[in-house]
Structure 1
Amino acid sequence: MSLQEKSFSCEECESKFSQKSLLTKHKQIHHATKPYSCKVCGFSFHQSSHLKTHVRVHTGEKPYACKKCTAAFTQISNLKVHARIHSGQKPFACNVCESSFTDNWKLTTHMRTHTGVKPYVCEVCKASFSTRFTLTNHVRIHSGERPYHCTICGMTFAQNAHLKNHMNVHTGEKRFSCTICGCAFANNSNLKNHVRTHTGERPFECTECTSAFSTKCNLKDHMRIHTGERPFSCTFCGAAFAAKSNLNDHIRIHTGDRPYRCEICKSAFSVNSSLKSHLRIHTGEKPFRCKICTSAFAQNSHLKTHMKVHR
């Protein structure tokens, strides 16, 4: 239809319409008139069609079903975008790099990686984000909200991705494998931490001393050496520790639990480090070497005792 046939013009902007009813709907945008209200939550809309779509949020109705899979949607526009997953069609291309996307919203979000625009600002700490989704996740740091619940153990999470990773603990699924040694992990963050044992990377540095660590958790434990904080207390004797792992090792003194077992002689130990020291009896490994003479030892404590000979 040509512009000449669009004889109904908006007085507020330059938009033109072929029917008076379309112009009337359009004018509601300028006058902020929202006559169609949801009886469930009170949200108001410019058009009745928008209200009908919104009501499906409450009813759970998803009338637009994908013919390729079991996915279903409340809006036909969402179905069209979804269908591109199956067709491989990505009509929205970035004019800066070679990336392309299935819908315009993803392209708009992507463009912010080039422009640096972060329009979503946290009202509490003023941190800014490129998407509303990341802002929503961030706000839960301040509110303490953890809306995602594990139906098996009851644990709660601030983000759905964290819940999905947690569920692997129950299913035993380990989808993330190390390309160096083949070890598998339940989530990608554990894999990243593991890979640093091969690369030697220690990106988390202490601001008080020269120590560096492969994981943020280890850095947090280390920082308590400087602060003197010991938040993990033994319920048996009251002893307090800077790291939860140290508390767990200590509790075995009371329980007598020895979960670390030597596969060669079946000796059992309460802590993993004791098992590692023990294994050197079988392997003959002596990694602790004296810098003054050629002596070597299986344990660091033996080296320290030896060093007194040179004093």
Structure 2
Amino acid sequence: MESQDFNFEQNDVFDQRFIERENVKRHKLKPSIEKLYRCDVCEKTFVHSGNLKRHMLTHTGEIPHRCNVCEKTFFQSRNLKRHMLTHTEEKPHRCDVCEKRFSHSSNLKRHMLTHTKRKPHRCVICDKRFNDISNLKTHMLIHTKEKPHRCDVCEKRFNHSSNLKRHMLTHTKRKPHRCDICDKRFNDISDLNTHMLIHTKNKPHRCDVCDKTFTRYGNLKRHMLIHTVKQ
């Protein structure tokens, strides 16, 4: 009896197609999940009552969870818990490459892309690339000139909600973030973190061309123009 050659590659393709067909069959057999909870305002439906309760806050404008330190408010308690790490300075997530620490795992994941140099998200207009999809979305507002976030006091508009929040502190005159060394106060935690580099003498931003270091990333960017002009 004549033996037949067995093509593993073709067999793998067949197996994969078979698995895909079976998955589709099983998916069709699954009963559709009924959404029992309906919003009386916009008629959007939800599977769980908790999701409906959180959704209702978007209509009432209520933000029930408040930070006791800086009075920032949140819709969900888990977001408040994450935010509290910025005040406690607890940073449980550590980068295995440079040992830099982060308060949130999502920040660590974004940071890891700086080591791989991967920037998977590309602007279709100017080809600029970004590590994170949220940064790309913010960048796109530069091209569209859209500024959807408006200050209720002076009607100044901003392209990002975080910029509006920082701006609102200029009206309240509140500066909740204080330097433990010189007592200087700041509206925003990021400004305080940058200020602290003056005391620590730390300059984390390094020029890849001449190895000069800077405390601020913006200073590094301006410095890079020197090398660009020389080229």
When the two structures are superposed, what TM-score results if normalisation uses the length of structure 1? Answer: 0.42
Residue 224 (structure 1) aligned to one of 165, 169, 178: 169
Q: 2 CA distance for matches of 1:84 and 1:230?
A: 60
Deviation at 1:177, TM superposition (A): 2.2
* Residue in structure 2 matching 1:118, options 23, 39, 48: 39
- Does the 8 A contact of 1:176 with 1:191 survive in 2? no
Q: Could you tell me which of 110, 120, 130 is aligned with 2:45?
A: 130
**Equivalent residue for 1:103?**
32
Tell me, yes or no, if the aligned pair for 2:39 and 2:52 is still in contact at 8 Å. no
- Which runs of 5 or more structure 1 residues have no equivalent in the other structure? 1-67, 70-82, 92-100, 110-116, 122-126, 155-162, 286-311
- Specify the SS of the correspondent of 1:265: coil
Is the contact made by 2:110 and 2:131 (CA closer than 8 Å) also made in structure 1?
no
Retained in 2: the 8 A contact 1:269–1:275?
yes
The DSSP-based 3-state class of the residue aligned with 2:64 is: helix
Q: CA deviation at 1:239?
A: 0.5
Inter-partner Cα distance in structure 2 for 1:183 and 1:192? 11
| Aligned position for 1:260 | 205
Secondary structure at 1:248 match in 2: helix
- CA distance in 2: counterparts of 1:237 and 1:136, whole angstroms: 45
The answer to whether residue 172 in structure 2 is matched with residue 243 in structure 1 is no
Structure 1 counterpart of 2:92, from 121, 137, 153: 153
Per the TM alignment, residue 133 of structure 1 is displaced from its structure 2 partner at its CA by: 4.3
Normalising by structure 2, we get a TM-score of 0.54
**Partner residue, 1:177:** 121
Q: What's the CA shift for 1:272?
A: 1.9
Identical columns (%): 29
Equivalent residue of 2:202, what SS?
Answer: coil
SS in 2 for 1:236: coil
CA 1:137/1:255 → structure 2, altered by over 3 Å: closer, same or farther? same
Q: Could you say which structure has the greater relative contact order, defined with CA pairs below 8 angstroms and 6 or more residues apart?
A: 2
Corresponding position of 1:302:
none
Q: How many pairs are equivalent? A: 171
Q: Is the 8 A contact 1:204 1:216 kept in 2?
A: yes
Q: Give the match's secondary structure for 2:78.
A: coil
Deviation at 1:205, TM superposition (A): 1.8
Distance 1:105 1:197, change over 3 A: same
Q: Work out the CA distance in 1 between the residues paired with 2:197 and 2:150.
A: 31
* Conserved? CA contact 2:123–2:136, under 8 Å: no
Q: Paired residue for 1:142, among 44, 50, 64?
A: 64
Letter in 2 for 1:87: K
Give 3-state SS (helix, strand or coil) of 1:105's partner. coil
Change (3 A) 1:235 1:135: farther
Query: Against the structure 1 CA distance between its residues 175 and 275, is the aligned structure 2 distance closer, same or farther, given a 3 Å change threshold?
Result: closer
Q: Determine which of 153, 158, 168 is the counterpart of 1:213.
A: 158
Gap regions ≥5 residues in structure 2: 1-18, 66-75, 83-90, 94-103
Which AA in structure 1 matches 2:92? C
- Distance in 1, matches of 2:208 and 2:112, equals 27
Q: Is the 8 A contact 1:258 1:268 kept in 2?
A: yes
